[in-house]
Amino acid sequence: MSVEIKVPSPGESVSEVEIASWLVEDGDYVEKDQEIVELDSDKATLAMPAEESGIISISVEEGEEVEVGQVIGTIDTSAAKPEGSGDDSKKEDKPKADAPKKEAKAEKAPAKKEETYASGSASPAARKILDEKGIDAKAVEGTGRNGRITRDDAVKAEASMGTSTGAARPSDRKKMSSLRRKLAKRLVSVKNETAMLTTFNEVDMKPIFDLRAQYKEDFKEKHGVGLGFMSFFTLAVTRALKEFPQVNSMIDGDDLITFDYADISIAVSGPKGLMVPVIRSAENLSFAGVEKEVKRLAVRVREGQITVDEMTGGTFTITNGGVFGSMLSTPIINPPQSAILGMHNIVERPVAIDGKVEIRPIMYVALSYDHRVIDGRESVGFLVAVKEALENPQELLMGGDNVVKKALEL
């Protein structure tokens, strides 16, 4: 009996995926629930397990795009699991018996080729390309048999420093993953289909530094996670979204949808590229709740376990280029959302405090927004509200000096 291997649906609105890589070979015996293939969608890479045990037959190669529900192979469940010891001994014996014949053929093959062409010579097609480029065939290293210069060698060959001769320089060409191709299309569409503008401001991070220095040990001991910057920024954003609900809106056809909740997308760098999981109903979470959710989602991204559902439905995005050393940048809106907040690195800078120059840890922040939805007053006001909350977290995010421990659940 054969069981068809069908492409599962990775989530809503996803109709096509790409065969990223087969984790088994054609003809292998696979166990039930063993991961056999990785599928790339425009959201994430997902591993697909075998539904039954048996011999697998692969019908779609790596790199091909397939539709949801399409059959990409079969598993013969009636096939018995092969005995490892008996098969291995047979496989080892056969090459030994055939070895003398293969060696004899290997000795004859080069001699025959050498009579046909000399080492380093170019094929007619390759020579034509080299002549058009003005490159001497002697300067090109051939990859064909006996050093023969192939057409591909000639295409890759480049003249050195603009002269008429030069050796080929190494390069690598490979097809972009489905995730990267879809991301590229989305980014271009944002630039072409939105009226994107960016407003900037700066934040004095000293109040947050002081709070973290005072409470971080107790916080970690109580909740098992660190008291990071992301909880402060997330709660400052949810507060500002209540004050400026237009920023928490998106266009749907001719309609404008404004959300009463804040599902905050956070950009996380993983092995498959940048992922944007969502913190659901962040306005209802405490500092500990945000930090635990950030850690949970980041771990799932880095271990390749994040799902499409965990990355859809966000209403606003926060991205932190500061972890890579970015001083200032213009973040690109995550469609169909209307705005994104960019965090950057923290640098000690001289600032005027009460008429005196002091050195403070300063972060530049940027808000990119769709001007079709958000006017200048809302965008600037929103970013100022975020700045105010971050520079006065005890009063605006925690409810006053006397309830800091309560806000941190200590």
Structure tokens at 4: 């068809």
Which positions ≥6 away from 354 have C-beta within 8 Å?
none
Q: Which amino acid is at 72?
A: I
Side chain identity, residue 30: V
Active-site annotation holds for 152: no
CA dihedral 149, 150, 154, 156 (to 10 degrees): -110
Which parts of 117-205 fold into alpha helices (H)? 124-133, 151-156, 178-193
Instruction: Measure the CA dihedral 293/297/300/306, to 10°.
Output: 130
- Written as six digits, the tokens of 344 are 């950057």
CA distance 164 to 38: 46
Catalytic status, residue 371: yes
Q: Report the C-alpha dihedral over residues 146, 152, 153, 158, rounded to 10 degrees.
A: 170
CA-closest candidate to residue 366, choices 387, 352, 348: 387
Q: What is the DSSP string of 257-325?
A: EE-SS--EEE-EEETTEEE--EETTGGG--HHHHHHHHHHHHHHHHTT---SGGGS--SEEEEEGGGGT
CB 318 within 8 A of CB 297: no
State the Cα angle at 48 between 44 and 50, rounded to 5°.
180
Residues with catalytic annotation?
371, 375
